[in-house]
Structure 1
Amino acid sequence: MCRQLGLPRATYYRRLDAGDTPTALRRRELTDQVKTVFDSSDGIFGHRMVHAKLAAAGIEVSVGTVAGIMAENGWAAKRMRAFKRTTIASDPDKVFEDLIGRDFTAEAPGTRLVGDITYLRTGEGWLYLATVIDLCTRMVVGWAMAEHMRASLVTGALTMARDSGHLSPNAIFHSDHGTQYTSREMGAWCAGNKIRQSMGATGVCWDNAVAESLFSSLKNEFYHHHSFTTRQDARRATMRYIEVFYNRWRPHTNNEGLPPATAMANFTTRNQPLPAAA
Structure 2
Amino acid sequence: MEPEVFVTLVKEMRGKLTITELCRLFGISRASYYRWIQRKDLGKLTALEESVRHLCFLHKFRYGYRKITALINQKYKVNKNTVQKIMQKYHWNCRVKMKKCSKVGQPYRVVENKLNRQFSSEAPLKKLVTDITYLPFGQKQLYLSSIMDLYNGEIVAYTIGEKQDTAFVLDTLNQLPETADCLLHSDQGSVYTSFDYQNKIKTKGITMSMSRKGTPSDNACIESFHASLKSETFYLDGLTNEPTSIVIETVKEYITYYNEDRIQQKLGYQSPIDYRKSAA
> 2:115 and 2:159 mapped to 1: Cα distance?
23
Correspondence for 2:262: 250
| One-letter identity of the residue aligned with 2:254 | Y
Question: Could you tell me whether the CA contact under 8 Å between 1:138 and 1:254 is conserved in 2?
Answer: no
Q: Which runs of structure 2 are paired with 1:221-240 in the superposition (5 Å)?
A: 221-224=232-235, 225=237, 226-240=239-253
Q: Does 1:150 align with 2:165?
A: yes
Distance 1:74 1:108, change over 3 A: same
TM-score by length of 2: 0.79
> 2:179 and 2:123 mapped to 1: Cα distance?
10
Gaps of 5+ in 2: 1-43
Higher normalized contact order (CA 8 Å, seq sep 6+, divided by chain length): 1
Gaps of 5+ in 1: 1-24, 271-278
Deviations for 1:60-91, whole angstroms, at most 9, x for unmatched residues? 12222211110111111114142331322212
> 2:98 and 2:264 mapped to 1: Cα distance?
20
Q: Given the alignment, which residue of 199, 202, 217 partners 1:188?
A: 199
TM-score by length of 1: 0.80
Question: Could you tell me whether the CA contact under 8 Å between 1:52 and 1:251 is conserved in 2?
Answer: no
Residue 122 of structure 1 and its aligned partner are, at CA, apart by 4.2
Question: Could you tell me whether the CA contact under 8 Å between 2:61 and 2:96 is conserved in 1?
Answer: no
Q: Does 1:41 align with 2:59?
A: yes
Question: Could you tell me whether the CA contact under 8 Å between 1:228 and 1:234 is conserved in 2?
Answer: no
Q: Given the alignment, which residue of 251, 255, 262 partners 2:274?
A: 262
Correspondence for 1:90: 107
Deviations for 1:9-58, whole angstroms, at most 9, x for unmatched residues? xxxxxxxxxxxxxxxx9x92221111111000112221122123223x33
> 2:195 and 2:133 mapped to 1: Cα distance?
21
User: For the aligned residues, what is the CA RMSD?
Assistant: 1.8
Correspondence for 1:70: 87
> 1:30 and 1:247 mapped to 2: Cα distance?
28
Correspondence for 1:169: 180
Give the share of equivalent positions with the same residue, in percent: 26
Correspondence for 1:219: 230
Correspondence for 2:41: none
Q: Given the alignment, which residue of 28, 31, 53 partners 2:49?
A: 31
> 1:149 and 1:83 mapped to 2: Cα distance?
19
